[in-house]
Structure 1
Amino acid sequence: MDSALKQRLLGAAVLIALAVIFVPMLFTGSAPKQESATLNLEIPPAPDREFDTRVLPVEPSRSSSVPATVSEPVVPVDVTTAPPTSALATPAEPEPAPAAVPAAVEPKPAPTPTATPEPPAPGTAANGRFLVHLGVYTSTKNADDLVAALKRGGYSAFSEATEFQGRSAQRVRVGPYADRAAAEAARIRIKQIKPDVPGSVVAIAESATADAPREAVPANRAGGWAVQLGAFKTVEEANKLKGRLQAAGFVSYVDKLATEDQTLWRVRAGPETDRAAADKLRGRIKDKLKLDGLVVTQ
């Protein structure tokens, strides 16, 4: 190989080496340089000199162009002592508001007390009696003949005046009997001896003023006694008295008595097995409720 070719190859190698070194430096550039400094944080010493204290006046100077707003001289006030009481303005007391006049209230009328009807006496229409009714006769002679015949047969017959179709008449009856069963038995016996005479059993109300006799109920009949406390024309009044008895602890009931003239509701306590027990029951009711009663049969 000749020397010229070697020189050219060596020159090319040098150029390549320089390009490899300097070309990257052209694209990246050099980094900026950072400078560092050290700061002194120590507090400087106080100055070696005295300070002067000056008092500046707050009043405006006379040469000021702004006019003074205070026309009167300022009086100094001693704050160590309180001002006299007379110098303080006493606030006026507010006038009392006029009292409100209440509106006139019309007085309410007093409620009229309702009169509570007093229960009738225990004996008023208390007992029912039963009669055998044997018809109404416009002929007095026929009525008298029938009464005489019945009396001869041992019956307590009687006649009483009445009216029939606007005419005076007589009605014939037998009795009275203490219960309906006895009256019904008498009607059947009379029918046997007087088959042509119509007969029926009617009830009447009779005032009882005394207790039923001890022999009114057979000794072998249990539960035939009671204490009657009253008889009423309405069932509502009878139920009120019954409720009063039950509230006091007494067994009571209402017994209806339908007569040919009216219907009554009797209030009774019991029943009791014998007359002595009925007497004791009447005493307990008297002591607890102050109610009088009559001992009656069932």
Structure 2
Amino acid sequence: MNIQLKQRLVGAVVLVALAVIFIPMLLPGKGNLGGGIDGSNIPPEPDFRFPPVPAAPKAPPVAAVPVVPLGDSDDVEPPAISDKSAPVEKTAGQSPPKPPVNAVVKTPAKPPAKPVSSPATKAAPAKVKPVESGQVSGWVVQVGSFSARNNARALRDKLRKQGYASFVEPVQGASGRVYRVRVGPELSKAAADKLRQRLAKKPGLQGLVQAYP
């Protein structure tokens, strides 16, 4: 009888304990945890106010710069040989390196403008002199004749780099326009022939002495 009584007492104690734990939880508004979380006990949301970020200034529109194509200065055809200005430019371009040295030795006190101008004016008439129509003013060595202007210019530039005064003469022939490459002019035919012999030593420059213009 004692064992059965003890078991009943233990069962009764367990039931009472369970009732004490679960009954308050089932009742509305009460519980062991002191009540649930409702709107009254939630702290207010903090008010974070940030200053507005200023908008980045708009960059002014960049105006489009018009691109002007540069023309090829070498496309301008040099004047015909009948105009005496072409050989004058070549001879004047060769003479300036020598006269400034002599001028500095003789008159060092004079400004550089005078010695440069005086030899140029003397050298030009010495090479090319104005002559009447129909007279020969000099002699040239023709080293090539091309139907393509670029080929004639290439040979002319090659001769100039080697120290020869050369130019391109455009001529209208029966079969079309032809570009002659000539070296000179020289004052005498003998000087032109010596020039031809010097050019003949170079490959592909078998020239022909001709009167100029």
TM tier relative to shorter chain? 0.3 to 0.5
Scaled by the length of structure 1, the TM-score of the pair is 0.25
Scaled by the length of structure 2, the TM-score of the pair is 0.35
Structure number having the greater helix percentage? 2
Structure number having the greater strand percentage? 1
Q: Which has the higher contact order (CA 8 A, sep 6+)?
A: 2
Larger-gyration structure (1/2): 1
